[in-house]
Structure 1
Amino acid sequence: MTELNKSLQAEGSDSFIAALGETTRLYGITRLSRESGLARESLYKTFASGNSPRYETVARVLRAMGLKLQLVRQYENATGVSQAKLPIDE
């Protein structure tokens, strides 16, 4: 899971998709297919190099592995105070 978190820090989604693809293979494509309801062939194609999977597919795969994406504040401003309050802060 550390590699997935690191890949989220990188610019662009390619590194995250590549790390998630590796994680799916380690988890087991057959097991993931059974638990996500997605066909094995579809999972292989989804995480093949150069593909851009839909959010729904990524969310389904993460959920099947017991994972989820979560938003957190990345940084504070120079005074140490969080940036302007956003609707997600409530």
Structure 2
Amino acid sequence: MKTATKWDASEYLETEEDMAAYLNAALEDGDTSVVAAALGDIARAKGMTQLSKETGITRDGLYKALSPTGNPSFDTVQKVVKAFGLKLDVATA
């Protein structure tokens, strides 16, 4: 019997460009749970311990906030995005 392995996006996010494109796609989706999950994938790719140090948010707090069922505050999102070396930008639709 064959078993499928779970696909983990964090294993494929190697550059800041990869991460920015991934986050942009999540933002375009419009579902906040997708955005939180994408931030979590990027966080795991960069290293949750380092992200915790850079944001001042505990690892457990990051895991909880950046899970598909998480609901991160805008302050958390800003800190995380800045720590990724990215920025949120607004454009006309």
Structure with more of its chain in helix, by fraction: 2
Root mean square deviation of aligned Cα: 1.1
Give the aligned partner of residue 83 of structure 1: none
Pairwise CA distance, 1:69: 0.8
Pairwise CA distance, 1:7: 1.0
Runs of 4+ in structure 1 off by over 4 angstroms are none
Say how many residue pairs are matched: 74
Amino acid at match of 1:63: K
Pairwise CA distance, 1:11: 2.8
**Bigger radius of gyration among the two:** 1
Taking the aligned partners of 2:69 and 2:63, their CA distance within structure 1 comes to: 12
Gaps of at least 5 residues in structure 1 are: 75-90
TM (norm. structure 1) is: 0.75
Give the aligned partner of residue 77 of structure 1: none
Give the aligned partner of residue 65 of structure 1: 84
Q: Report percent identity of matched pairs.
A: 36
Amino acid at match of 2:46: Y
TM (norm. structure 2) is: 0.73
Equivalent in 59, 63, 66 of residue 40 of structure 1: 59
